[in-house]
Structure 1
Amino acid sequence: TTIIKLTLWPIQNKANRSMRQMAALSPKVQELRDKYKDDPTRMNQEMMKLYKQYGINPVGGCLPMMIQIPIFFGLFKMLGQAVELRNAKFLWVKDLSQPDTVAHLPLLGWPINIIPLCMAATQIWLMAMTPKTGDSTQRRVMMFTPLIFLFICYNFAAALALYYTAQNLFSILQFYQNKRQPPPTLEKVAPAGKRKR
């Protein structure tokens, strides 16, 4: 987890900066939404022009999440076959290759797995700290991410949910570190033909 997080640290910093720029630009985005609410095509064109004008990639904040998807599936496959995790203990977990069931709900019999719940809670905490952007599609994707990961990890090896919980805690730490930096300034980018050499 530490090695992967340190490798992704610069990319995450850039994504955090992009999200903060999007949040700073959101009043202008809202103006465009209000102005072109009856013409979605024109609204999207004007929004893309605005992003280009300020040199902002509207999906830049999603990049670390996209990079982590292949890592997630790689871990998912590897953990399903890892013999080393069998009977490996961590805190209350007796076997990291199995779900960390601590009890069952009365009457229903559903398992209560703590680590996947902690993973979802840290993802929600991280999302609550993230600056809100004007991009509603990005917000919707981010909103469902904890539920999707909870569904996938709930009855799987506890090691996978433990990895993502640690990843989320590192991201929260990184967010607080980035928050101490001065807010980004919005500067218009010069068109390609007018750039100084």
Structure 2
Amino acid sequence: MSHLNNALVEFFIFIHKIVANVITNENYSYGVAIILVTLIIKIILVPLNIKSIRSSIRMTKLQPKQKKLQEKYKNDPQRAQQELMKLYKEYGVNPLGGCLPMLIQWPILIALYYVFNNINGISGISFLWIKDLAKPDVVLAVLAGATQYYSGLLMNPASDSPQAKQAKNMNFFMSLFMIYITFKIKAALGLYWVASNIIQMGQTILTKKLEEKHMTENDA
């Protein structure tokens, strides 16, 4: 983990130097550097995101078959669960796939916590409405929770299955947790999380449209 921490510190410093050559005002250069680092990390995670979104779309398409199984084995919940898992395996669906990108990001989030605690340059630096990137920001905390929740809604399939409900509940509690955490940490890290969620939403919407178009063309 220490190698990841040190690598991200050097990476952020490198990106900020590039941004600072273009944007000399530190009140903007640090904020832009954080957003740029977020974008690069999200690009690296694109293959994982695409896989999760495709799983979400397929799960939505399987809803009629899921309901038939639940009706067929309504008196045997254990058998219904077994048949449902077989169905997911057959179509390559992961019912908790929408949560996977979020879980993968936790080590990165922890590493960035180390990064922003070891970069003294952000102290006293403002960005947009944020008065100090080195201190918590209430508005940013609310945005972190709201964008986390909406991003999770887009990722998780609309289904009545127990797995989908579990993913929905997990997303809700994670959103509340993010509000609490962001209210306690430096705004720099909160800005990363909000930017990450917004980029994730854009990726999800675009990938879903392309995947649904692809599936429609294949059905035709």
TM-score (norm 2): 0.71
1:140 aligns with 2:153: no
Distance across 2 between alignment mates of 1:8 and 1:182: 18
Conserved 8 A contact 1:116-1:150 = yes
Distance across 2 between alignment mates of 1:38 and 1:75: 49
Match of 1:166 in 2: 195
Match of 1:106 in 2: none
The number of aligned residues is 174
Q: Closer, same or farther in 2 for the Cα pair 1:128/1:61, shift >3 Å?
A: closer
1:185 deviates by 4.4
1:129 deviates by 3.2
Conserved 8 A contact 1:116-1:162 = no
Match of 1:78 in 2: 115
Sequence identity percentage: 38
Conserved 8 A contact 2:99-2:152 = no
1:87 partner SS: coil
Match of 1:6 in 2: 43
Conserved 8 A contact 2:55-2:92 = no
Q: Where does the alignment leave 5 or more consecutive residues of structure 1 unmatched?
A: 101-112, 187-197
Distance across 1 between alignment mates of 2:119 and 2:71: 54
Equivalent position to 1:24, from 38, 53, 61: 61
Q: Bigger CA drift: 53-62 or 171-180? A: 53-62
Conserved 8 A contact 1:96-1:157 = yes
1:114 deviates by 0.5
1:15 deviates by 0.8
Conserved 8 A contact 1:21-1:185 = no
Q: Where does the alignment leave 5 or more consecutive residues of structure 2 unmatched?
A: 1-37
Match of 2:84 in 1: 47
Distance across 1 between alignment mates of 2:75 and 2:116: 50
Conserved 8 A contact 1:82-1:97 = no
Matches within 5 A, 1:170-185: 170-183=199-212, 185=215
The structure with the largest helix share of the pair is 2
Conserved 8 A contact 2:140-2:182 = no
Matches within 5 A, 1:49-64: 49-64=86-101
Match of 2:180 in 1: 151
Distance across 2 between alignment mates of 1:60 and 1:15: 5
TM-score (norm 1): 0.78
Match of 1:124 in 2: 149
Q: Letter of the 1:71 partner, please give it.
A: I
Distance across 2 between alignment mates of 1:56 and 1:92: 42
How big is the alpha-carbon RMSD for the aligned residues of Structure 1 and Structure 2? 2.1
Q: Letter of the 1:155 partner, please give it.
A: K
